[in-house]
Structure 1
Amino acid sequence: MNTRPGRPTRLTDAELICLALAQVLLNRPSETAWLRYARKHLTGMFPYLPQQSGWNKRPRAAGPLIARLIRSLAETTPTNSEHLRLIDPTPVECARSRPTVKRSDLAGEAGYGYCASHSRYFWGMRLYLVTTAEGMPIMWWLANPT
């Protein structure tokens, strides 16, 4: 990435990637808030931090480099073992009205649950999907959401 003519950058690509990763892992989506946090807590590790306009440009310009790093990590991280599995539950709504709930054949299996992503309650079941880190489904099951 540092193949452009002109002054050498004061923030190396490695430092840039570390800071961008820390911004994501520390859940700091605002660039202004992130730079304020980094200046307060990370100046010992990163003596030079760009201004907001510079920070805005550098990670975007480093997109291909970051994508290459992510691809390399994904290829070299062993996930075919039993050590890493991801579980993702999703609601399966079976009924909405009270009369439908009362006459349903699923009355013994289904129940009421809350779906935070939709900010609402539902009556039905939860579908749990177990996958590898690559997204390959391993198993699934339906369960009462309570």
Structure 2
Amino acid sequence: MTEQTITIYCFIDDFFHAIGRKDDIHCKLSDAEVLTTALLSARFFYGNLHSACSYMQNHHGVRMIDKSGFVRRLHRLQPQLLALFSALARSLKQLNTSCSYLIDSFPVAVCDNIRIARSHLLQGEAYRGKSVSKRRYFYGFRVQVITTQEGVPVDFFIQAGSFVDVTALQAMPLDLPEGSRIYADAGYTCYEVEDLLNECEQVELLACRKSNSKRPDEPHIAFLKNHYRKRIETTFSGITNFFPKKIHAVTPQGFILKLILFIFAYTLNQIIE
């Protein structure tokens, strides 16, 4: 755990130095220490910021601030957190010489279905979605994730639970190298999107075909699609293993921030280990 803490801190601190970001001289806690603590909370403490702050103070001598001040600093640093993930993702894409990627989504409920009417965190039918694999409805967010062939996340997109996969894909800003192939399940089937990606982005979307598809696959192509896309389920299991029984958040922005931290922490964990 100590090695991972040092590695994460050095990565963040080097990035801030590279972009010329400097800490306020009046702050007791640096931006790199704030983000390191937040990522450690997602990786080792199920998103509990208080436990992560106590660990940093007791084991690394970091002078912590009060919880409310820490949370406010963390929210202000969300753009830098996303910039860090983007910088790491660009490096992973450059190292991914196979140019093969996987895409799928997983649901994150903010409450049980029976408590939807009493939910204060989210309001509206836009957040009511259906998990086909679990054969049940949920109320919350749907997270689209793109990973390398090995299952390391390089991009993600968080939207309301009612959005279906192919609709979310159209809204998602893809940033993949030319000549890339994206393996997906049948939920991403849209011939128009496939043609546009191939023509405009030089990216090939390889979605599994349904039995009544107008563009059926040859048996060996169907086998490859099913073989590759199953790896992303292991990634989702790894990310959700970091989740607590219930993700605590006071605002939707805070809930989304914690989801970002869980995905980022999983990505770093895959790279470091």
Which TM-score applies when normalising by structure 1?
0.50
Residue 241 of structure 2 is matched in structure 1 by none
Residue 123 of structure 1 is matched in structure 2 by none
Q: Does the CA contact (< 8 Å) of 2:41 and 2:49 recur in 1?
A: yes
| Match among 29, 38, 43 for residue 20 of structure 1 | 38
Distance 1:45 1:2 in 2: 22
Alignment of 1:58 onto 2:62: no
Q: 1:141 to 1:64 in 2, by over 3 A?
A: closer
Residue 41 of structure 1 is matched in structure 2 by 55
Q: Does the CA contact (< 8 Å) of 2:103 and 2:147 recur in 1?
A: yes
Task: For structure 2, list consecutive stretches of 5 or more residues without a partner in the other structure.
Answer: 1-20, 107-131, 138-145, 149-153, 156-173, 175-180, 184-205, 210-225, 227-273
Residue 18 of structure 2 is matched in structure 1 by none
Is the deviation greater in 19-28 or in 47-56? 19-28
Report deviation, 1:9: 1.0
Alignment of 1:115 onto 2:133: yes
Alignment of 1:137 onto 2:182: yes
Residue 124 of structure 1 is matched in structure 2 by none
Name the count of aligned residue pairs: 105
| Match among 83, 86, 89 for residue 74 of structure 1 | 89
Distance 1:71 1:54 in 2: 26
Question: Which structure shows the higher helix fraction?
Answer: 2
Q: Does the CA contact (< 8 Å) of 2:35 and 2:81 recur in 1?
A: yes
Output the amino acid matched with 1:38. A
Percent identity, aligned pairs only?
19
Report deviation, 1:117: 7.4
Which TM-score applies when normalising by structure 2?
0.30
User: Which structure has the larger Rg?
Assistant: 1
Q: Does the CA contact (< 8 Å) of 2:37 and 2:53 recur in 1?
A: no
Other structure's SS at 1:115 match: coil
Q: 1:89 to 1:69 in 2, by over 3 A?
A: closer
